[in-house]
Amino acid sequence: MKLLVMRHGEAQLVAPSDMHRALTEYGVEQVQHTAQWLSEHILVDQTSIDLALVSPFLRTRQTFAQLNSELTIQQVESCPDIVPTSIASLAHDYLDAKITSMHNPQCILLVSHMPFVSYFVDALCQERIAPVFATGAVALIEYDTQLSRGKLVTHFQGI
């Protein structure tokens, strides 16, 4: 199964709270570029993404909306367990439970934040690789649902 772990596009620095920081124009461009790369290189043999788990923060919801306008995503779930301060191992457990409740998922997308995305890749791959995600970056993990373990295949840093 393909697991896509993505960091939101570039966001404004100033907002009433961190949760309300919106994407900048450049952030929208980053997400569009990543969506195009996903279409051309990762989702070539698939018609859609089965599920997207999205942080409830404004910038991640906007990132998802932009992706959803360019890619076919079957289902979306706002997930408060994947915010910047979340615990990666707990989110990994939640992902595994979610996968077992689905019928043969082929591709799942997670849209979140640094440093969570870096820790989450480590938890999924069960090794300390801690990739640094630029804004708009996405990692492709080939995930073995039987072993609950993944392998980092590629890490697209975008523009």
Say how far apart CA 16 and CA 34 lie, in whole Å.
28
* pLDDT for 32: 97
- Residue ranges in the chain whose pLDDT is less than 50: none
- Position of tokens 């791959």? 125
The pLDDT, as a whole number, for residue 46 is: 78
pLDDT in the model for residue 44? 84
What domain count does the chain have? 1
What pLDDT is attached to residue 59?
A: 98
Distance CA 11, CA 45 (A): 32
> The domain spanning residue 62 has which CATH number?
3.40.50.1240
Identify the pLDDT of residue 47: 75
Paired tokens of 82: 């994947």
Domain that holds residue 94: 2-156
CA angle 6, 121, 90 (to 5 degrees): 100
Identify the three-state secondary structure at position 68: helix
CA distance 55 to 52: 10
* 17-57: pLDDT as tens digits: 999 999 999 999 999 999 999 999 999 887 789 999 999 99
Q: How many CA atoms lie within 13 A of 23 on its CB side?
A: 22
